[in-house]
Amino acid sequence: MTVAGEETWPDAAEWAGKIYSGGWRQPGGGVQQVHEPATGERLGEVGVAAPADVARAGAMAAGAQRAWAERAPRERAEVLLRAAQALREHRGAMREWIVRESGGVPAKGDYEIEAGLAQLAQAAGLASLPLGEILSPPAPGQTSYAWRVPLGVVGVVNPWNAPLLFAMRALAPALVLGNAVLLKPDPHTPVSGGVVVARLFEEAGLPEGLLHVLPGGPGAGEAVVADPHVAMVVFTGSTRAGRAVARAAGDGLKRVALELGGKNSIIVLDDADIDSAAAAGAMSSFGYQGQACVAAGRHLVHADLVEPYTEALLGQAEALRVGDPREEGVALGPVISERQAARIERIVDESVAAGARVLTGGRRDGLFYPPTVLDQVARTMPAFTEEIFGPVAPVVAFRTDEEAVAIANDTEYGLAAAVHSRSVARAAAVAERLRTGMVHLNDVSAKDAANAPFGGMGASGNGSRIGGTANLEQFTQWRWMTVPGSA
């Protein structure tokens, strides 16, 4: 794949049909074709890791990790900073891969690149933080220490919706804190979530054996989770799959960080700025076709504002052009697969059959699903209860702040939310009663920051947090030592 004005990167002659495990090598699981969802065009092929490939990678990673952990933290940080420089140098090609492989518009590609750079920089900063404490000794004359040590090998099972960002968010802190990584990219985005990550760290001079990129389907992911050398699994995906990962990892007493689904609410109180709230609501529900765990799956609007808010939201939706994301002016590309398009269609159709009303959108053209606004949505309908993962904005009315909180909390999920009010104090009072791991005032629900602890409650995860200094807790474990006093 070529990019205007830039050399082809990464060179397919190096990686086509291969996996990255101690260099680029032929896999035992054959090859997988990579296609562009917008056009169906073939973009290339990657190797598929067989269970034997994963076992070999786990053993190699465990061996390489020991010497890596003994290196000075500054040296590990410098590798991350060189990877960031390589990403800057190849950002045009990286953007093209994200656009064509994941169906995002160029702005989505730029966002992922900037977010990936921020993750690398933030993780590099962990190398300078204190890793231990001097404790009060248990007996007079003793010295008591506690400090953090690497876990060993971290398995990362990566999603397709933000493949570069989520890869960097897990493997950057894992590596800088002295761990090795087995990265299993999603089959929809094995290049932008796998191949390019390997190439960036190759260019950065990461020692061989510390990073293994193992594309494949569920079998490859299961092998990573089960590998005896893997001490921790980072999984981002559906709640159903996350529960399966947790069960499998539990047999090995492995640490698990689960970032799962969400049914997130935008709450619009009766004193909100309607235009601002509708703009935030549109971005939260329609950005990247709604294919984000932090997307707004409910618009809870005070009954007195439902009509003007819905009108403003319709204006936002109808101004968004749907099509090939490489075309000028396109705001929404295709959803990732036929399976996902059919799921969105089912949720909308079943909700309409139950009494919801489509105000705009609601009919797809292949993988292209338009921005859709529903009203008259009841709390028993699929549009209210299920995570849609598509560009659909269900509008639900409420009368009091207490009712808004109750409706927002009426879900097994607990990931993100946003509250809109001209009174920050009132918005904060509502926000504090929401059962979510993240909440934003007068803003979108879909936010991410490298220095913030990202994660949810309930079925949105297992309480883990990745980001900022929370990474110290996730990717290390404590060791305690006592030293007797001199005789």
The confidence score (pLDDT) of residue 485 equals 84
Q: Give the phi and the psi of residue 257 in degrees, each rounded to 5.
A: -115, 110
Average pLDDT, the chain: 96
User: What order do you get walking across the sheet with 24-25 strand by strand?
Assistant: 24-25, 19-20, 211-213, 180-184, 153-157, 230-236, 255-259
Identify residue 353 by its one-letter amino acid code.
A
Plot region of 394 (φ>0 → left; ψ -120 to 50 → alpha; else → beta):
beta
Instruction: Categorize the per-residue pLDDT at 95 as very low, low, confident or very high, splitting at 50, 70 and 90.
Output: very high
- Residue 304 phi, psi dihedral angles, 5° rounding: -70, -20
Could you give the percent of the chain with pLDDT greater than 90?
96
pLDDT attached to residue 8 = 83
What is the pLDDT at residue 216?
97
Instruction: With beta carbons less than 8 A apart as the criterion, state whether 390 and 289 touch.
Output: yes
Q: Which of 265, 359, 275 is nearest to 309 (CA)?
A: 275
Q: How many helices (H) and strands (E) does the chain have?
A: 16, 21
Taking residue 128's Cβ as centre, other Cβ atoms within 10 Å add up to: 9
Q: What is the mean pLDDT of residues 378-396?
A: 98
Does 465 have pLDDT greater than 70?
Answer: yes
Q: What is the pLDDT of residues 338-349, one digit of tens each?
A: 999 999 999 999
Listed in order, strand segments (DSSP E) in 284-330 are 296-302
Which one of the listed residues 259, 311, 327, 402 is annotated catalytic? Answer: 259
Predicted confidence (pLDDT) at residue 6 exceeds the cutoff of 60: no
Whether 127 has a pLDDT exceeding 60, the answer reads yes
3-class state of residue 55 by DSSP: helix
Residue 1 has pLDDT above 70, yes or no: no
Residue 4 pLDDT level (bands cut at 50, 70, 90): very low
- Whether residue 5 is predicted with pLDDT greater than 60 in this model: the reply is no
Active-site position among 36, 112, 222, 293:
293
Q: Averaged over 331-339, what is the pLDDT?
A: 97
Q: Rounded to whole angstroms, how far apart are CA atoms 268 and 123?
A: 36
pLDDT recorded at residue 215 = 98
Distances (CA, A) of 134 to 73, 131, 185, 248, 329: 20, 11, 40, 37, 58
19-49: b (≥16 Cβ within 10 Å) or e: bbbeebeebebebbebebbbeeeebbbbbbb
- Domain 12-260+461-480: give its CATH code: 3.40.605.10
If pLDDT is split at 50, 70 and 90, which confidence band does 327 have?
very high
CATH 3.40.605.10, the chain: domain bounds: 12-260+461-480
* Separation of first and last alpha carbons in the chain: 70
| pTM summary value | 0.95
- Tell me whether residue 350 is one of the annotated catalytic residues: no
CA quadruple 250, 252, 256, 259: dihedral sign: negative
Q: Where in the chain is the domain with CATH 3.40.309.10?
A: 264-450
Q: Residue 261 to residues 17, 236, 419: CA-CA distances in angstroms? A: 32, 9, 20
Q: Which helix (H) or strand (E) holds 259?
A: strand 255-259
Is the per-residue pLDDT at 201 higher than 60? yes
Contact call for residues 205 and 153 (beta carbons, < 8 A): no
pLDDT at 7 over 80: no
Q: Who contacts 55 (Cβ-Cβ below 8 Å, separation ≥6)?
A: 223, 227
> How large is the average pLDDT for residues 107-135?
96
| Contact of 241 with 248, CB cutoff 8 Å | no
- Segment 287-299 mean pLDDT: 97
Question: 259 catalytic, yes or no?
Answer: yes
Which conformational region is residue 265 in: left (phi greater than 0), alpha (psi within -120 to 50 degrees), or beta? beta
Options 3.40.50.1370, 3.40.50.2000, 3.40.309.10, 3.40.50.10950; CATH of 264-450: 3.40.309.10
Helix H or strand E segment including 255? strand 255-259
Task: Give the separation between CA 82 and CA 87, rounded to whole angstroms.
Answer: 9
Q: What is the pLDDT of residue 486?
A: 65
CB contact at 8 A, 263 and 297: yes
- pLDDT-derived band at 487, boundaries 50, 70, 90: very low
220, 49 contact by CB (below 8 A): yes
Cα–Cα nearest to 420, from 331, 314, 296, 263: 296
Q: What is the mean pLDDT of residues 236-261?
A: 95
Query: Could you read off the pLDDT of 13-50 as tens digits, one per residue?
Result: 999 999 999 999 999 999 999 999 999 999 999 999 99
